[in-house]
Amino acid sequence: MSSIIQLLPDHVANQIAAGEVVQRPASVVKELLENSVDAGSTDIKLIVKDAGKTLIQVIDNGKGMNVTDSRLCFERHATSKIRHAEDLFALATKGFRGEALASIAAIAHVEMKTKQEQEELGTHIVIEGSKFVSQDVAVLPKGTSFSVKNLFFNIPARRNFLKSDTVEFRHIVDEFERVALAHPNISFVLYHNGSEMFNLPMANQRQRIVGIFGGRTNEKLVPVNESTEIVQIQGFAVKPEFAKKSRGEQFFFVNNRFIKSGYLHHAVMAAYEGLLKDGCQPGYFIYLEVPPNTIDINIHPTKTEIKFDDEHALYAILRSSVKHSLGQFNVAPVLDFERDANLDTPYTYEGKEAILPTVNVDRNFNPFADEKPVKTSGASSSSTYASPAFRKTDRSASWESLYTGLTTATDETEGIDFEKDEVTGSLFNDGDVEQTIHRTYQIHKKYIVSPIKSGMVIIDQKRAHQRILYEQFLKNITVQQGASQQLLFPLVLHYNKTELDLIKEMQAALENTGFVFSEIKEDQIVVSGLPVNTPESEVSILLEELINDLQQEVPDSSFSQTDSIAKSMARSLAVKTGTLLSEKEQDNMVNSLFACKEPDVSPFNKPTFITVSVEDLDKRFAI
């Protein structure tokens, strides 16, 4: 019987490895940028076309490779970072498994140009789908230029799974930001479709954060510094008043490597306890330095998760250091047991005795006396006059005299007919008694119950309002007739460059819903008009959630950007669960819902109402 187990060919094995290493264009960007950092580069350029689907090029001025290394680097598990298994627990570099370049070359057209400083000529290699097309000698500058063209050209199924250019470019920017934040001593430049998106010169940590997220970020940051035997912590926490609904500006770096850790995130959230609004997420940029032998990096294919030897101690140190920084800079409320200097006794009163107050009593004072008492003769200088109360002398009339004459005044008005506000009857003879009956009821500030002929309908007020607003915004954007209310004082909102590009992209659609942008600058926008019934306090939250939805692409598939904008705005402005509605508001919501084209479901394909028939109720009461 022939054997059924056999070794896979190299090109098949490389494509399987690519499934783990290269998930999208951003994965290629991450691997190439990290290789440039490991090469000792001080200047790195990233050039992207069509969100990386057409071209990803990384140019650096690192140490480069010789002819042998430039050919060997595309082999599987070929690396210069480790020699022995023990080296895995003392890593100080980014890539170390030797899978990245082989995986990328298996699914794209790759062109590499590299030259070492001491060499006169460099090497130019072209690979297509793991096949070496050419290898030539060329005149090149010092460093390496790596171009990846037509990603997933030989795996069309994987290419079809890629999202829109907006979403894929957002992932590329995320990877670019993570590498740039981890290495402020390296200058980075990012070009997309010929336009410069980022130009980050060498700087310190704070300047690099401000360079990426905008000038207004500087005032939001609170320094965090702590040094122990277990870990050294540096970085910044964002003030609670600048917390956002999304989890965007949250970065952990361990030994200059970006990681994701829900455990450490919980430690930071615990430090912010009591300072954040419901549903808000704090921003932070935390840099951790730990001994390399106390962590295991090789537990995840993307190396974004790390196993720590002593997580509990790290949790406690991180939580206390962030909380200490928030309190130190008067961000968090603290108990101050120091006494106020203004309340201290002056030193000049140290030898003096306290003077007791004297109480003078006029023993001749009689509140029931008719006349004002006179000053007694021979009284001391400390005696006082009686109170001037009851100065009137004609006190013979009793209090009953105040009410004399009221009976005669009442008698004079007996013949006068006054107009009354009482409603004696209905305006129409055939008045319906049901007009005075409540047609809708609100239950637990969440559901609206309305009777129908066959029973009753129970409506989810939040989902129903989402459907109403969604169709309204969709109509306004399509017809381009959105009503707007002008602001007396325009709103000035600040965003980074990536977010501003998204706002410019959807500016026309937003203006059709009622927004009026009077000015859009490099790091801010000026809003002078809002859609009708949009609270001014909700504008920043609405735009923030809209940007986040477009970056991550709203779930349940949106067929266009217009649809995405309408969905996001409807979700942000809809009535929240727990809002008390008046009877008129309930009736209006019921009528508006059933006037929609698709009242059965919300914009996110969830039911808006259910019906309960009288037969169902009878069955529940049946014995």
What are the pLDDT digits (tens) for 338-362? 555 555 556 566 677 778 888 888 8
3-state secondary structure string across 252-319: EEECCEEECCHHHHHHHHHHCCCCCCCCCECCEEEEEECCHHHEECCCCCCCCCCEECCHHHHHHHHH
The vertex-577 CA angle with 574 and 579, nearest 5°, equals 85
Whether the predicted model's global pTM rises above the 0.95 cut: no
274: left (phi over 0), alpha (psi -120 to 50) or beta: left
Tokens coding 113: 């140009």
Task: Quote the CA–CA distance of 26 and 258 in Å, as a whole number.
Answer: 14
DSSP state of 124: E
Task: Quote the CA–CA distance of 189 and 195 in Å, as a whole number.
Answer: 11
Tokens coding 402: 């105040």
Q: Which helix (H) or strand (E) holds 198?
A: strand 195-200
Task: Quote the CA–CA distance of 213 and 499 in Å, as a whole number.
Answer: 10
Task: Quote the CA–CA distance of 344 and 340 in Å, as a whole number.
Answer: 7
Q: Tell me the pLDDT band of 452, cut-offs 50, 70 and 90.
A: confident
List, for residues 564-622, the tens digit of each pLDDT value.
788 888 888 888 888 888 888 888 888 888 888 888 999 888 999 999 888 888 888 87
> What is the rounded average pLDDT for all residues in the chain?
79
Tokens coding 433: 């008694």
Q: Yes or no: say if 61 and 142 are a contact pair by the CB < 8 Å rule.
A: yes
Q: Yes or no: say if 307 and 294 are a contact pair by the CB < 8 Å rule.
A: no
Asked if residue 214 has pLDDT above 90, the reply is no
406 contact partners, CB below 8 Å, separation of at least 6: none
Place of tokens 């090789």: 298
Q: Tell me the pLDDT band of 186, cut-offs 50, 70 and 90.
A: very high
Task: Quote the CA–CA distance of 547 and 572 in Å, as a whole number.
Answer: 12
Distances (CA, A) of 179 to 34, 176, 184, 189: 7, 5, 9, 12
DSSP state of 196: E
List, for residues 467-516, the tens digit of each pLDDT value.
998 888 888 877 777 777 888 888 888 887 778 888 888 888 888 888 88
513 contact partners, CB below 8 Å, separation of at least 6: 473, 476, 477, 482, 531, 565, 566, 569
Helix, strand, or coil (residue 394): coil
The pLDDT of residue 183: 93
Distances (CA, A) of 328 to 224, 227, 282: 10, 16, 17
Asked if residue 155 has pLDDT above 80, the reply is yes
| String of DSSP letters for 351-369 | SPPPPPPP----TT--TT-
Task: Quote the CA–CA distance of 436 and 538 in Å, as a whole number.
Answer: 37
Domains plus CATH for the chain?
10-200 (3.30.565.10), 205-328 (3.30.230.10), 442-612 (3.30.1370.100)
Tokens coding 23: 């998930």
- CA 369 to centroid of chain Cα atoms: 76
